[in-house]
Chains A and B, each alone.
Chain A
Amino acid sequence: MMSVLKHFAEYDRRIVYLALFLVVTIMLMTPIGLPISVSPSTMQYYDVLEALGPDDRILAVLNTEFSGYMEIQSGIIASIRVMVEKEAKICIAVAHPEATGIPELVLSAIKSTMDEHQYTYGEDYVVLGYVFPNEASVASAAQDWHGAIHNDFYGNSIEGTFLDEINDWSDWTLISDYTTGIQTTALINHFGLRGAPMIVNGIGVEISILAPYLDTGIYKALLQSMRGGAELEYLTGHPGPGMTAMDAFTIGHYLMILLIVIGNIGYFGYTRNAGRNVE
């Protein structure tokens, strides 16, 4: 019995790595489709997207690296799919050099929806590329859009696109931020605080920092991490990478709980007693 407790208290960290690797890999390769519940915050986010229409102009900012994209890709794809379904006009801007490759992945994931709604480049959507490297660039775009931005990602002039209708922050119907935290504060400072409606999809560790802005009304809604993305996929009826990952997400959480419980059994059964014996 004591040896078991000792093992619980002092197990090799590689066992944790192996257990987590197996759980995630097996669940991703053979998803069992565990049912999921939808949180109120995702419902709120979905309601904001549902209210969009063809006259709306959305600035979607990819405030993320490729690494962070893996966590929020389900939210990005599901959100932009709803925007396309609502036939809103979308401008995709990027705040990290790595993210310049993301729009292509997102647009190819929703290609069938775009074809269905006859989305045309320039008229309905524009990809800007890396236009927000720092706060000054965000401030500049908020105050004088055409003074700051002339070309799209492919080097073509933005003249003649739907962006002709944009002059400053007040011309956007919605700022949709997908973030690991890069230029999010700058977007809040120069768009949100002036009154441009904002929604946000953030990675897990950002949620506690973003939540106060939801409370103040700067954010109309907050989509939380990959789980929020999966819930949005469920609500929109388009299962994607989020829902595929939810089995691994759930079982991974339960594994963490199990490891904490095992660690505490080992602590009370062995480590604490061993300490007393030494004393």
Chain B
Amino acid sequence: MSQILRSKELNLIAMFLAFLAVFVPYFVNVPALDVFSTKLITITAITTAFTLLLAIYSQFRRGFDFVRRKPRGWIFKVYMMTAILLMLLFALGGLETGPYHWVMYAIITPLSSVNYGILAFYLASTCARAFKARNTKSILLILTSLIMLFYQAPFTGVYVNLGPLGIYLADTFVMAAGRMFLISVTVGAIVFGVRVLLGQEPSVLGIGREE
């Protein structure tokens, strides 16, 4: 039985039927199919939410393995596992007050903010070093960046109206790059989806290696 359930063909058929159940109602108005599709999506949402438990299990399994082998930095794994357990425990005591609330606002908030804030220093340093007028392309890049930096600084607009130029750059070159990125990602996702449905990406189903 387990061999049948693990078979590539059966998995692909199940996936293809699930795909049709969600895809077809977008184009055909059949109420019964719509209800089935909605239920299927809700079941998927709830099932995938439970992957959080799987993630916690994996983290602990990997963490215990680290602690047993004691490679460099193993103590951080102990810290991580303790933090997960404590937060689970704290959350049971209430979310609005108490230890959970304190950890959220006194530890997670500042750490997360600092993590993001220090990026500004790296960006500034990289920007100052990389933007050198070595050739025509880099000169164009620097000119554009200078215009955009002046345009984005709110004070500039009070005295110099760079708005039309900034909007022109945003609506043409930036928009073109943005669209190209979105179209590439979307086409890539469609191609990947078709490959999955054709059984050319079996690793998605966990039934083999990627071809």
Which A residues lie at the B interface, using CB under 8 A?
Answer: 13, 16-17, 20-21, 24, 34-37, 39-40, 65-68, 70-71, 98, 100-101, 104, 133-134, 136-137, 139-141, 143-144, 147-148, 153-154, 208-209, 211-212, 215, 227, 230-231, 246, 249-250, 252-257, 259-260, 262-264, 267-268, 271
Contacts and interface: CB of A to CB of B under 8 A. Distances in A.
Given A16-B125, A133-B52, A253-B149, A67 B116 contact: yes
A260 B142 contact: yes
Contact of A227 (B37, B124, B127, B152): B152
Nearest to A138: B45
Interface stretch (B167-175, B190-198, B203-211): B167-175
Interface in B81-130: 95-96, 104-105, 108-109, 112-113, 115-117, 120-121, 124-125, 127-129
A144 B38 contact: yes
Contacts of A136: 41, 44-45, 48
B150 interface: yes
Interface centre among B142, B152, B158, B163 (most CB of A within 10 A): B152
A167 B142 CA distance: 51
Say whether chain B's binding surface is mostly helix, strand, loop, or mixed. Answer: helix
Say whether chain A's binding surface is mostly helix, strand, loop, or mixed. Answer: helix
Contacts of B128: 16, 256, 259-260, 262-263
Interface stretch (B6-14, B59-67, B178-186): B178-186
Given A66-B109, A260-B127, A267-B134, 20 more contacts: A20-B121, A36-B154, A36-B158, A37-B156, A37-B157, A67-B115, A134-B45, A139-B41, A139-B45, A140-B41, A140-B42, A143-B42, A153-B95, A208-B170, A208-B181, A252-B124, A255-B124, A256-B127, A256-B128, A271-B132
B140 interface: no
Contacts of A249: 153-154
B151 to A, nearest CB: 9
B146 A259 contact: no
B159 to A, nearest CB: 9
Contact of B175 (A67, A98, A211): A211
A39 B146 CA distance: 18
B124 A256 contact: yes
A211 B116 contact: no
B131 interface: yes
B4 interface: no
Interface in B22-60: 37-39, 41-42, 44-45, 48-49, 52
Contacts of A256: 124, 127-128, 149
Given A136-B41, A208-B174, A256-B149, A250 B155 contact: yes
B152 A98 contact: no
A134 to B, nearest CB: 5
Contacts of B113: 66-67, 70
A253 B175 contact: no
B133 A40 contact: no
A199 to B, nearest CB: 18
Contact of A260 (B108, B131, B152): B131
